[in-house]
Structure 1
Amino acid sequence: MLTEDFITLTAPLRAVGGGRVWSLMISLFGDLAQEEGTAIDGPVLSAMMALLEIRPEAARVALHRLRNDGWIISEKVGRISRHSLSEKGRAESAAATPRIYAPPPDGSEGWQMVLLESVDDPVSADMAAHGFTALSPRMFVGPADIPAPGNGLSLAGGHVPDWLLGQLRDEAMQRTYADLAQSLNDLKNALTKARALSPLQKAVLRGLIVHNWRRIVLKNPPLPLALTERGGPARQSHLLVTELLAAFPRPALRDLAGRPAG
């Protein structure tokens, strides 16, 4: 696909994802070069930034920040700079990978309600990290297969009343999911009519999809399907992310080396 066509095609997804270049770079590295010993050559990264319409100076500032924060390591190999995730960067990416790439729940996972001893229970502040969503200061819901933290009382979930679904519904987050679902659906329809993508374009496309999904899905613990709207924007986004990433498999880094932006 011609460069200008690809830039036009991905413009809505770039707009949804926000403008933090360093965060987008984390998504790109996490998808392409998470394994130890892998790296992205400077010219390849520059070509990816060009496809994303990110100015060279903005890319340099983002790289500088990620190096200072201990996420990225850069080294010279001849005249070419090579950039890789640090040990910290790989560990952080690996921790997020299951949430980002997990397939949508199919409804067989079940759910539970956990009641803590009191609102002052020390575990209360960490319930989200354990995978639970708050209903009240001492009552939480989550997947059935997660052990209840501390001395919490676990009650197996069954029929889900409408009031519970309503209480779990976050209107602002639903709008965010809806915007992403719309952009992904438009992208899917456009790609069915588009010319074949180059390996570099596939890498950028995947990075954009992962970035947009990552910035939403990591904000909240996963809810079992029974506690969500089956036809809602959150599930639609998840289904589209899974479908698009499967349709455009991760290209090998060796196929990106030396490729121009177009």
Structure 2
Amino acid sequence: MNKINTLDTLITRFQQQKPIRASSLVITLYGDTIEPHGGTVWLGSLIKLLEPMGINERLMRTTIFRLTQDGWLTSDKVGRKSYYSLTGSGRRKFEQAFRRVYSANQTVWDGSWCLIMTQQLSAEERKQLLDDLNWQGFGVLTGQLIGSPNTNLSDVNTVLASSGLQSKVIVFKTHQQEELAGRQVRMMVRECWELDKLGAHYQEFINLFRPVWQELDEKDNLDPESCFLTRTLLIHEYRKLLLRDPQLPEELLPGDWEGKAARQLCRNIYRKITPATEKWLEKNLESADGPLPEASQAFYQRFGGLN
């Protein structure tokens, strides 16, 4: 079996984070690996899986306890063993992010914008609304005007209703116009959404994982554990980037947008190492009913289809 030598660099980089973001990595593990295989896993399996990344048993137990206290995980005890699953609210929290990670293509933009006037909101209310609408690509266009080219009114109204701000804002939906994707608008988008900074983060991702792809492209018969660890760190780093990415339409992005290359690189690596990863999981993860079930059919649709 051929181990992935560039994995050492990825693990070292993860371990150098202070403090180690064990909770975030566990959420990545659930979204990428455990949910497609039934959603429930024995704590002992989790400890074994992430130990090579520097997360020892004590840290793992503390992490799982905190995620349970925060409403992300729930546990069932069978004999002396504890099995953990995402709660309903925990699943809803990450589903939108993970749909972005694995989607095949960006939706086609119809040229319209959703604009919200927020002058009646307090600074705190405005910040909270922007945080709540971040997933829908909203950004600050001026001090009291926020907008997104990537949403629909029903989604916006759902957020406004849940936050109780419907009577305090004015919402507009523009019609398609050529100038809405013109040069001036693209310059505004680049500044308002800080695309240069986001592009630099994507370039860091490319620089980190390009050597991994170059190594994988020359190897077959890959070591399953190396593949599992690499895939977990790959999706962990890519997911963090997508949390910052407003997912703007391609028409509003720079022609040499780094996010496009990063996505292609992530997809190539994921497809290459998934078969060996799945073999590793079958042998090393345990649910209350025995070995983890096979991955769902939806899993094999990730990134437009896995081999």
TM-score by length of 1: 0.79
Higher relative contact order (CA 8 A, sep 6+): 1
1:152 alignment partner in structure 2: 172
Q: CA shift at 1:179, angstroms?
A: 0.8
Structure 2's unaligned 5+ residue stretches are 157-169, 292-307
Equivalent residue, structure 2, for 1:92: 93
In structure 1, what is the equivalent of residue 27 of structure 2? Answer: 26
Q: Could you tell me which residue of structure 1 aligns to residue 221 of structure 2?
A: 196
- Does the CA contact (< 8 Å) of 1:142 and 1:222 recur in 2? no
Paired amino acid for 1:214:
R
Closer, same or farther: CA 138–164 of 1 in aligned 2, 3 Å: same
Tell me, in whole angstroms, the C-alpha distance in 1 between the residues paired with 2:187 and 2:52. Answer: 46
For the aligned residue pairs, the C-alpha RMSD in angstroms reads 3.4
Cα distance in 2, alignment partners of residues 13 and 192 from structure 1: 22
Gap change, CA 1:94 and 1:153, over 3 Å in 2:
closer
- Find out whether 1:254 has 2:282 as its counterpart: yes
Deviates more, 1:43-52 or 1:159-168: 159-168
State whether residues 75 and 82 of structure 2, in contact with CA within 8 Å, keep that contact through their aligned partners in structure 1.
Answer: yes
The structure 2 residue matched to 1:142, chosen from 134, 149, 158, is 149
Which amino acid in structure 2 is aligned with residue 25 of structure 1? V
Matches of 2:204 and 2:182, distance apart in 1 = 27
> Contact conserved, 1:113 with 1:154, CA < 8 A, in 2?
yes
User: 2:137 aligned to 131, 135, 140, which one?
Assistant: 131
Is the 1:33–1:39 Cα contact (8 Å) retained in structure 2? Answer: yes
- The question of whether the paired residues in 1 share the 8 Å contact of 2:71 and 2:87 is answered with yes
- C-alpha distance in 2 between matches for 1:201 and 1:86: 29
- Structure (1/2) with the larger helix percentage: 2
Displacement of 1:146 in angstroms is 2.8
Whole-Å Cα distance in 2 between the matches of residues 176 and 96 of structure 1? 18
CA distance in 2, matches of 1:243, 1:213: 13
Is this contact kept in 2: 1:3–1:51, CA < 8 A?
Answer: no
C-alpha distance in 2, partners of 1:110/1:178? 29
Shift of 1:34: 1.9
Matched, 1:8 2:38: no
Match of 2:64 in 1: 63
Q: Aligned partners of 2:21 and 2:112: how far apart in 1? A: 37
**Paired residues of 1:112 and 1:154 also in contact (CA < 8 A):** yes
Give the direction of change, closer, same or farther, for the CA distance of 1:243–1:104 in structure 2 (3 Å limit). farther
**Partner amino acid, structure 2, of 1:160:** G
Tell me the amino acid that sits aligned with residue 31 of structure 1. Answer: D
The answer (yes or no) to whether the contact 1:229–1:235 under 8 Å persists in 2 is no
Aligned with 2:201: secondary structure? helix
Inter-CA distance 257–5: structure 2 relative to 1 (3 Å threshold): same
Provide the rounded CA distance (Å) in 1 between the counterparts of 2:80 and 2:3: 26
Cα distance in 1 for residues equivalent to 2:17 and 2:202: 12
- CA spacing shift, 1:82–1:115, aligned 2, 3 Å: closer
Post-superposition shift, 1:13? 6.0
Q: TM-score, normalised by structure 2?
A: 0.69
Q: Which amino acid aligns with 2:104?
A: P
Q: How many residues align?
A: 257
Structure 1 residue 104: Cα displacement: 4.7
Q: Per-residue CA shift, 1:101-127, capped at 9, x if unaligned?
A: 223538x43443344456337996344
Contact 2:112/2:176, CA 8 A, preserved across alignment: yes
Q: Which residue of 2 aligns with 1:73?
A: 74
Inter-partner Cα distance in structure 2 for 1:65 and 1:85: 13
